[in-house]
Amino acid sequence: MSWTERQRAMLREMGLVTWQPGSRAADPAPAAQPVPAVATPRPVAGPPARVMQQAVAPAPPAAAAVLDIATDERTRHIATLDWPALRDAVAGCQACALCQSRKQTVFGVGDRQARWMIVGEAPGEQEDLSGEPFVGAAGQLLDSMLRALSLTRRDDGPEPAAQRVYIANTLKCRPPRNRNPQPSELAACEPFLMRQLALLQPRLIVAMGRFAVQALLRSSDPVGKLRGKVHQYQGVPLVVTYHPAYLLRSLADKARAWDDLCLAASVAERP
Ligand code: SF4
């Protein structure tokens, strides 16, 4: 991929040095890795009820059966919702304890015709206040990286669908004091993300951070092990990368994250 002067300026702004053919300028980023078609298809109908059972293990068999039925019914209902009904369902959701401490839910942002879907982890304090995912310093870094690829989260600009992204989190409510999400919370919230994906039908998914990866790939492997290749989620190519909040603390991995986005861009450009 060759960069325009504007893109190179953006990369410099992010602290990344671009390598040009014939140039001896050092590029801290390792060469973009080839794109093996590593396909690990996930079952089409993810079993959130089963995950929730694992998290609430001591339940006696009869109670577990009731929980299964209730969760299945809820999941089936969410799978029928259109965008406005889905947003309303998230706004009024009380399916896990995070509803008690949130200021507001964080549904998602971007164009509903977007080809890219970026999936993050959970809202932080800024997101809880604003109701939008990826705001604050991490959001600014993400926006800079997107701009370098001529992508935008805006849904009211002149850009074509190919340049638009939709951004959502795995969890729609902020965990108190930004603690890690619990398995039962991820399972309870999963049907909302599944429905967003089904409605959006993106050409590409970028999973940012450990909990987004765990939710979508059902893998406990670290991000560093899963990045650099193309996975599949229900037939949609999925690229794993670091969360921007982590990149703010780990400059060395910024260049790897840029490689990941370049890999994602090459996938999105495929016919
Ligand atoms: S985190 Fe998800 S499941 Fe839990 S209350 Fe919020 S919207 Fe509902």
- Does residue 53 have a pLDDT over 80? no
Contact 202, 115 (CB under 8 A): yes
Cβ(189) – ligand 1 distance below 6 Å: yes
Instruction: Give tens-digit pLDDT for 179-237.
Output: 999 999 999 999 999 999 999 999 999 999 999 998 899 998 999 999 999 999 999 99
Ligand 1 mutation target, pool 75, 100, 171, 178, most atoms within 8 A of CB:
171
Cβ(188) – ligand 1 distance below 6 Å: yes
To which residue do tokens 């992508």 refer? Answer: 151
Cβ(122) – ligand 1 distance below 6 Å: no
Instruction: Give tens-digit pLDDT for 222-261.
Output: 999 999 999 999 999 999 999 999 999 998 899 999 999 9
The structure's pTM equals 0.77
Ligand 1 mutation target, pool 71, 75, 77, 105, most atoms within 8 A of CB:
105
What is the pLDDT, as a whole number, of residue 34? 37
Between residues 209 and 59, which one has the greater pLDDT? 209
SS (H, E, C) the chain: CCCCHHHHHHHHHCCCCCCCCCCCCCCCCCCCCCCCCCCCCCCCCCCHHHHHHHHCCCCCHHHHHHHHHHHHHHHHHHCCCCHHHHHHHHHCCCCCHHHHCCCCCCCCEECCCCCEEEEECCCCHHHHHHCCCCCHHHHHHHHHHHHHCCCECCCCCCCCHHHEEEEEECCCCCCHHHCCCCHHHHHHHHHHHHHHHHHHCCCEEEEECHHHHHHHHCCCCCHHHHCCCEEEECCEEEEEECCHHHHCCCHHHHHHHHHHHHHHHHHHCCC
Cα(242) to centroid(ligand 1), Å: 24
CATH of domain 35-268: 3.40.470.10
Query: Position 33: which residue type?
Result: Q
Cβ(111) – ligand 1 distance below 6 Å: no
